[in-house]
Amino acid sequence: MKAAVIRNNEIIVEELPDIDLKNREGAVVKVKGCGLCGSDIVKFTHKLSKDGTVLGHEIVGVIVKINSKSGFHEGDVIVSSHHIACGKCIYCRHGNVSMCEHFKETNIIPGGFSEYIYLSEKHLQNVAYLKPENLDDTEASFYEPLGCVIRSIKRANLIDGDKALVVGLGTIGILTAQALKAFNKEVIGCDIMQKRVDGLKNYGINAVTKPDDEYKADAVFMTSGADKAIDTALKYIRNGGKIIVFSSTPHDTSSYPNNEIYYRELTVMGSYSPSREDLKNSLEFLKSGKVKVKGLSTIYGLENIQQAFCDTMTNKIMKAYIKIN
């Protein structure tokens, strides 16, 4: 089978051995397509993944072989996430499922940018769902990223009447603003790029290149990885407000000033990967149309995956979807 593999800082399509279920529980899934996540870009550009790694986890696929008690059948078209929390460790008990060791160890094998993958029984039982019929494959591939977004909103623990500012209107910003609206929160988005501001307005959500000087938000969602976005967050967060960090910055030299946090009683919190419940909410939001993702993705073939990475990094496109089968 073919898969896109990291080799010497490039992504090359290689022939890998076919996947055999052998006597294992789980399923062999023929990948129909897989979304390209911002975290794939970071892993690739910051050389966090070793040679031979197959990236990709926002998958839509069809079960071709199965040995499972999960109730799925051969021929089922499914979406799945890649990590599963243990539910028992100190991280899980405090709601930090993405820090759970079991969560980090579990994955789809070899990775989503592959013609076939192996999904374990735990994946099937915990984080896989039938693809809703009213969603096409590219729409359904937002199941995992929207799950991440929903988790960040839940972590913010907003109350009725709260106002949220979304800084950065790339794909994650657009999902965050829509999901906040779906949770009945007052939201505006901001981005220095006018075309991205217009992009969010198309969803009926207020967006600006720069909020009014007097504007204050109860929570700021940081979906932009630009260092300057931190100044924006500090300017528009009200005293006692929450800043939710949902992006990495290029060099990790940027920081939130101690005294602003102390004297203004700010909460700065990170949010990374979703729990089972967040993923379930994600699929409901996609299925019901509360969060719309049609037209956000640009489709590439597996052989053009390197181009998909380049076009995403240069902001030429919003989101890449790698169509595989």
Q: Find out whether 67 and 25 touch, Cβ atoms under 8 Å.
A: yes
Q: For Zn ion, which residue of 63, 66, 84, 100 counts as binding (CB under 5 A)?
A: 100
Nearer to Zn ion, 20 or 101 (CB): 101
- Of the pair 98, 232, the CB lying nearest Zn ion is at 98
Torsion of CA 114, 118, 123, 124, to 10 degrees: 110
Q: Segment contacting Zn ion (CB under 5 A): 87-95, 240-248, 258-266, 295-303?
A: 87-95
1, burial (CB in 10 Å: exposed 0-12, middle 13-18, buried 19+): middle
Tell me if 269 sits within 8 A of 242, measured CB to CB: yes
**Closest distance to Zn ion from the beta carbon of 153 (Å):** 16
In whole angstroms, the minimum distance from the beta carbon of 38 to Zn ion comes to 7
In angstroms and rounded to an integer, the radius of gyration of the C-alpha atoms of the chain is 20
Tell me whether residue 38 or residue 211 sits nearer to Zn ion (CB atom): 38
15 vs 105, beta carbon nearer Zn ion: 105
Lay out the site mask for Zn ion across 133-172 (x = CB under 5 A, - = otherwise).
------------x---------------------------
* Cβ pair 25, 121 in contact under 8 A: yes
* Three-point CA angle 91, 93, 95, nearest 5°: 70
The Cα–Cα gap between 114 and 50 comes to: 17
Query: Rule CB under 5 A: is residue 64 a binding residue for Zn ion?
Result: no
Question: Which of 92, 146, 167, 266 contacts Zn ion by CB under 5 A?
Answer: 92
Whichever of 34 and 217 has its CB closer to Zn ion, that residue is 34
End-to-end Cα, the chain, rounded Å: 11
Window contacting Zn ion (CB under 5 A); options: 35-43, 48-56, 133-141, 277-285: 35-43
Which of 34, 37, 172, 233 lies at the binding interface for Zn ion (CB under 5 A)? 37
Least CB distance to Zn ion at residue 81 (A): 9
Site for Zn ion in 260-299 (CB under 5 A): none
| Nearer residue to Zn ion within complex by CB, 67 or 248 | 248
**Shortest distance, CB of residue 300 to Zn ion, whole angstroms?**
16
Q: Which stretch binds Zn ion (CB under 5 A): 88-96, 135-143, 211-219, 296-304?
A: 88-96
Among 89, 192, 208, 261, binds Zn ion (CB under 5 A): 89
Question: Residue 313 CA to chain centroid, in angstroms?
Answer: 16
The verdict on 86 binding Zn ion (CB under 5 A) reads: yes
Stretch that binds Zn ion, among 42-50, 80-88, 260-268, 297-305 (CB under 5 A): 80-88
Count of residues touching Zn ion (by CB under 5 A): 7
Paired tokens of 259: 């005294």
The one segment of 83-91, 113-121, 273-281, 303-311 that binds Zn ion by CB under 5 A: 83-91
Residues at the interface with Zn ion (CB under 5 A):
37, 85-86, 89, 92, 100, 145
